[in-house]
Amino acid sequence: MQSIDGESMGSTWAVRYVGADDSPEKIRDGVEARLLLVDQQMSTWKADSDLSRFNAAPAGSWNVLPPELFKVIESALELAEDTGGAYDPTVGPLVDLWGFGAAGSRREPPDPASIEAMRERTGWQRVRFDASQRRILQSGATHLDLSSIAPGYALDLIGEYLEAQGIGDYLVEVGGELRGRGSRPGGSAWH
């Protein structure tokens, strides 16, 4: 069994796989490239990520997005609709207000008026996008946060990469999210 690990997206990652690959560095490079892609496109912590640039874009501007980011936003909005808004990727203002986002932590909870003001900026059904041109409208109040879905997308990209390399038995972990396929050496299940 091969093991590689590292840090990305403000957390850790690890890959355990079974295979005759004699180049763990090649696999590491492939995994890190996929993690970097997700981080560069979907991070709310990096001011120069594609998502951060969209969140800071001028009101009324249409923003063309990379295919991967557009796909994740589209999936997040579908999930929001399917859950009746229980999941909502537009909660970025509230995440920041409570001190869980890139704006930094807080010592005290926000006051009710501030919470209500930020709630006025949320609502997945307000997001307008044009799938045919892979673009999304910045209304001026839209602040997307994909921190709850982007690591899972990274797992999918890594799993697809490993399978393309002929690795059918693996366990991938990114920031506590897991994806596994096949079994450990000897045939036991991944734990």
* 88-117 confidence digits (pLDDT tens): 999 988 888 888 877 778 888 999 998 998
pTM of the model: 0.88
Provide the pLDDT for residue 96.
86
**Residue ranges per structural domain of the chain:** 2-181
Q: Which pairs from 98-101 meet CB under 8 Å and 24+ separation?
A: 101/44, 101/145
Q: Which amino acid is at 100?
A: F
CATH number assigned to the domain covering 2-181: 3.10.520.10
b vs e for 155-185, b when ≥16 Cβ sit within 10 Å of the residue's Cβ?
Answer: bebbbebbeebebebbbbbbbebebbebebe
45 or 81: which leads in pLDDT: 81
List the 11-18 sheet strands across, edge first. Answer: 2-8, 11-18, 169-174, 177-181
- Widest CA span in the chain: 59
